[in-house]
Amino acid sequence: MQRRVVPMLSASGLVVGYGANRSVLDRVDLSVPDSGVVAVLGSNGAGKSTLLRTLSGTLSFHGGALHDGQVKLDDRPIQRLSAASIARAGVVQVPEGRKIFAKMTVEENLRVGAVCTPPGRRASARERVMELFPRLAERLEQRAGLLSGGEQQMLAMGRAVMASPRVLLLDEPSLGLAPKLIEQIGDIVTEISAQGTPVVLVEQNAAMALRVAATAVVLEVGRVAMSGEAEQLKDSDGIHDLYLGGHSHPAAQDVDGEVEGEATDLPRRRLARWTA
Ligand SMILES: Nc1ncnc2c1ncn2[C@@H]1O[C@H](COP(=O)(O)OP(=O)(O)O)[C@@H](O)[C@H]1O
Ligand SMILES: [Mg+2]
- The residue ranges of every structural domain in the chain are 30-65+78-275
Atom 9, ligand 1: residue with shortest CA distance: 50
Ligand 2 mean position, distance from CA 48 (Å): 5
pLDDT band at 202 (very low <50, low <70, confident <90, very high): very high
pTM beyond 0.85, yes or no:
yes
In this model, does residue 86 exceed pLDDT 80? yes
Query: What average pLDDT score do residues 209-213 get?
Result: 96
Please state, in angstroms and as integers, the Cα–Cα distance from residue 214 to each residue in 161, 199, 230, following that order. 21, 10, 5
CATH topology of domain 30-65+78-275: Rossmann fold (3.40.50)
**Backbone angle region of 191, left / alpha / beta, with phi > 0 → left and psi within -120 to 50 → alpha:** alpha
pLDDT band at 5 (very low <50, low <70, confident <90, very high): low
Beta bridge partners, 70, equal 12
Which bound ligand lies closest to the C-alpha atom of 96? 2
Amino acid 236: pLDDT: 79
In this model, does residue 138 exceed pLDDT 60? yes
Amino acid 2: pLDDT: 58
Amino acid 241: pLDDT: 61
Test site for ligand 1: of 21, 28, 66, 204, most ligand atoms within 8 A of the Cβ: 21
Residues in contact with ligand 1 by the CB-under-6-Å rule are 18, 24, 42, 44-50, 62-63
Ligand 1 mean position, distance from CA 93 (Å): 17
Amino acid 203: pLDDT: 95
Amino acid 234: pLDDT: 85
Query: What average pLDDT score do residues 111-130 get?
Result: 94
In this model, does residue 81 exceed pLDDT 90? yes
In this model, does residue 59 exceed pLDDT 70? yes
Amino acid 116: pLDDT: 85
Amino acid 266: pLDDT: 32
Query: What average pLDDT score do residues 215-226 get?
Result: 95
Amino acid 98: pLDDT: 86
In this model, does residue 160 exceed pLDDT 90? yes
How do residues 230-263 score in pLDDT, each as one tens digit? 998 888 776 766 554 433 333 334 445 455 443 3
Atom 4, ligand 1: residue with shortest CA distance: 18
Residue 153 three-state SS? helix
Which bound ligand lies closest to the C-alpha atom of 223? 1
| Angle between helix 119-132 and helix 149-161 axes, rounded to 10 deg | 150
Cα 192–219–196 angle (5° rounding)?
Answer: 15
